[in-house]
Amino acid sequence: MPPRDPSERSVRMAVVARETSRGTQQEVIAGILGISQPEVSRLRKEARDDGWLGLPSFNIVEPDVWSRAENRFYSTEPLCAALSRRAGQPRPAAAPDHPAAHWP
């Protein structure tokens, strides 16, 4: 069932657009988001109609929505923090050219 919160739908649409631009299959995207493949198809059409997905590239239309999608589905920070806690060690410093080097 699709989310009822319109902002949540926008976040999912942003993820569908990004993953589509990467060549990810709809079934895989559905698994990432916990939704059906037909819902991915509908979100993909909406993403195209709203300008998130252009041929052949992905376009960030709403930076705040993309930021939420990126933090929720693409951030490795929670994983790194959990692994550091489990190992009982502080998080290692990231290489200067890695995006994690700029995280707080």
b/e 5-42 (16+ beta carbons within 10 angstroms → b): eeeebbbbbbbbbbbbbeebebeebbeebebeeebbeb
CA 12/CA 88 separation, integer angstroms = 35
Strand partners, 58: 53
For domain 6-88, which CATH number applies: 1.10.30, 1.10.3470, 1.10.10, 1.10.287? 1.10.10
**Model confidence at 104, in pLDDT bands (50, 70, 90)?**
very low
Q: Percent of the chain at pLDDT above 90?
A: 41
pLDDT digits (tens, 9 = 90+) for 56-100: 678 889 999 999 998 888 878 777 787 888 887 665 555 555 555
Is 0.85 surpassed by the pTM of this model? no
Per-domain boundaries in the chain: 6-88
